[in-house]
Amino acid sequence: MYRRYGVKRRSLVTAVAAGTPAAIVLASCSQGSSSGGQDAGVVTLNGDRADFTDAYELAGAELEKITGYAIEPRNVPSTENYQQVVRSSLQTSSTTDLVKWWNGYRLQDLARSGGLADLSGQWDSAAEKGWVNPETRDSFSYDGKVYGIPMYKSYWVIFYNRLVFDEVGIAAPTTWDEFEDNNAKLRDAGVTPLFATQEAGWTSSIWFAEILSKLDPQFYTDLTAGEAKYTDATAQEAMRIWAGMYAEGYFTAADVAWDSEPSLLASGEVAQVPMGTWRNGTFAEAGLGEGEYSAFLLPPFDPATAPSVIVESGSISVAEKAPNKEAALETMANWLDPAVQRPWVENIKDTSANPQVTTDDPVLETVLEAVSEQEPTELVRYWEASPPALIEGGVQHLGAFMADPTESNIMPTLENLQSLADDEWARWDAGS
């Protein structure tokens, strides 16, 4: 009896132990409750931004006047779970009609699976009406066809606390030297000049991309497209500038909570944060009133270098197997209509991808004025500019550099990045 009980118990332990990790992996394959099932008069839209729900409904109300179809938003709060839900449901009939996604290589990754509908007609018609910048077509395309319509247009700028700037007696910089000078004055006044953290993972790419793009925008484009190497002299120079700024004591600690960024800017503990304009609303919510904060475009490292700005666009795609596909295509044909975009961007407090739609938000106005004055080259954000696996692995190496931002760590970091880039570009080109 003893032996038999012993064997059974061991078998159970074996089964439980073996099954647990396996069940975790397989649980991912469930499609989630946020897809499928709907009324005929609406198109469903799945996304990972619960804070956009009201804005989706406002835009949907305008769309209903034009197309007869409103938007029924659904949300998966975690971005990681959301990507999982879309990957497993996109090729089935239980997908939502519209899917929020990212542009660039992330969109290509989804488009080449065959799960997205061709939106070239809708894009061309919007471009003809002047509703979208035709130069951005490539970052929404795969193999010459358009698969996403821009959701918004976020410029990557430096937000700053005006009260702190006034107190220290400095103004928004127009050259890199002024920027460095400001940082030194802020540090000497006991304020941390710049926010930087690797705590949220992806955030470690922000300063690398900002410095590199201001040093040489063309090299930034080549590097992210796999046509230049991380070990090239320009990338080394960008890392040296970054390490130098760390040595000067300009940055926050590398493990500061990403969530604390708005409150640190609002309290004046940190004077400047590099961020997409999509976070504009969060700074206002953190207690910064009108006139208490503003934003500037980070100047080029060398005044002779052409100005550039990193731009980020969420995208909306139509599922190839959308239950209400015709309505979804019609919705996308009208998404960039100024009547739809106005209430949409007013609610999300960001800028529209439709250049005809203006904003009355003072901070965004300042950004748009700077853009129209400097006419900077628009660059795709690092996060979307290379194959996803390369970026996800790359931010780990950059995060490790931020934890040890020394001169001696520059080459090991860049060599790791290049080795990763070699592997991931080969995998991407092989189509896996």
Partner 1 sequence: MTLLEKPRAEAGEDRPRPRPGLPLSTRDRLSAIPFLIGAVALVGALLLVPFIATVYQSLTRDNGFTSTFIGFENYLNLLENPTFGRSVLNTLMWTVGTLILPVGVGLLIAVLTNSVPGGRWLKYVFVLPYALSGTATAVIWGFILRSDGALNQAIEFFGGEASTSGWLLSWPTNTIVMIVASTWQATGVTVILFMIGLQAIPKEVVQAGELDGASGPRLFWHIILPQLRPVTVVVIGMSIANSLRVFDLIWLLTKGGPGASSETLAVTMYRQTFILSDYGTGAAVAVVLSVIIVGASWFYLRHQLKRG
Near partner 1 by CB under 8 A: residue from 50, 171, 225, 253: 253
Question: Is the Cβ of residue 194 or residue 215 nearer to partner 1 in the bound state?
Answer: 194
Is there binding between residue 37 and partner 1 (CB under 8 A)?
Answer: no
Q: How far is the CB of 253 from partner 1 (least distance, A)?
A: 3
Question: Is the Cβ of residue 112 or residue 229 nearer to partner 1 in the bound state?
Answer: 112
Is there binding between residue 2 and partner 1 (CB under 8 A)?
Answer: yes
Question: Is the Cβ of residue 321 or residue 349 nearer to partner 1 in the bound state?
Answer: 321
| Window 273-312: contact mask with partner 1 (x via CB under 8 A) | ----------------------------------------
Is there binding between residue 268 and partner 1 (CB under 8 A)?
Answer: no
User: Which span sits near partner 1 by CB under 8 A: 169-177, 229-237, 294-302, 394-402?
Assistant: 394-402
Question: Is the Cβ of residue 86 or residue 126 nearer to partner 1 in the bound state?
Answer: 86
Q: How far is the CB of 242 from partner 1 (least distance, A)?
A: 15
Q: How far is the CB of 28 from partner 1 (least distance, A)?
A: 6
Q: What is the 3-state secondary structure (H, E, C) of the chain?
A: CHHHHHHHHHHHHHHHHHHHHHHHHHHCCCCCCCCCCCCCCEEEEEECCHHHHHHHHHHHHHHHHHHCCEEEEEECCCHHHHHHHHHHHCCCCCCCCEEEEECHHHHHHHHCCCCECCCHHHHHHHHHCCCCCHHHHHHHEECCEECCEECCEEEEEEEEEHHHHHHHCCCCCCCHHHHHHHHHHHHHCCCEEECCCCCCCHHHHHHHHHHHHHHCHHHHHHHHCCCCCCCCHHHHHHHHHHHHHHHCCCECCCCCCHHHHHHHHHHCCEEEEEEEHHHHHHHHHCCCCCCCEEEECCCCCCCCCCCEEEEECEEEEEECCCCCHHHHHHHHHHCCCHHHHHHHHHHHCCECCCCCCCCCCHHHHHHHHHHHHHCCEEEECHHHHCCHHHHHHHHHHHHHHHHCCCHHHHHHHHHHHHHHHHHHHHHHHCCC
Compute the C-alpha angle 298/138/114, nearest 5°.
130
Question: Is the Cβ of residue 249 or residue 287 nearer to partner 1 in the bound state?
Answer: 249
* Binding to partner 1, residues 112-141 (CB under 8 A): 113-115
Is there binding between residue 17 and partner 1 (CB under 8 A)?
Answer: yes
Near partner 1 by CB under 8 A: residue from 34, 35, 46, 83: 83
Is there binding between residue 35 and partner 1 (CB under 8 A)?
Answer: no
Near partner 1 by CB under 8 A: residue from 103, 182, 198, 347: 198
Is there binding between residue 15 and partner 1 (CB under 8 A)?
Answer: yes
Near partner 1 by CB under 8 A: residue from 44, 67, 252, 315: 252
Can you say whether residue 275 is alpha, beta or left, with left for phi > 0 and alpha for psi between -120 and 50 degrees? beta
Near partner 1 by CB under 8 A: residue from 14, 30, 33, 175: 14
Question: Is the Cβ of residue 59 or residue 395 nearer to partner 1 in the bound state?
Answer: 395
Residues β-bridged to residue 270:
192
> 250: Cβ–Cβ under 8 A, 6 or more apart, which residues?
183, 187, 192, 193, 194
* Binding to partner 1, residues 212-251 (CB under 8 A): none
Near partner 1 by CB under 8 A: residue from 10, 65, 129, 240: 10
Q: How many residues sit in the footprint of partner 1 (CB under 8 A)?
A: 55
Question: Is the Cβ of residue 341 or residue 413 nearer to partner 1 in the bound state?
Answer: 413
What does the binding site for partner 1 look like in residue numbers (CB under 8 A)?
Answer: 1-2, 6, 9-10, 12-26, 28, 80-81, 83-84, 87-88, 91, 113-115, 198-201, 204, 252-257, 388-389, 392-393, 396-397, 399-404, 432
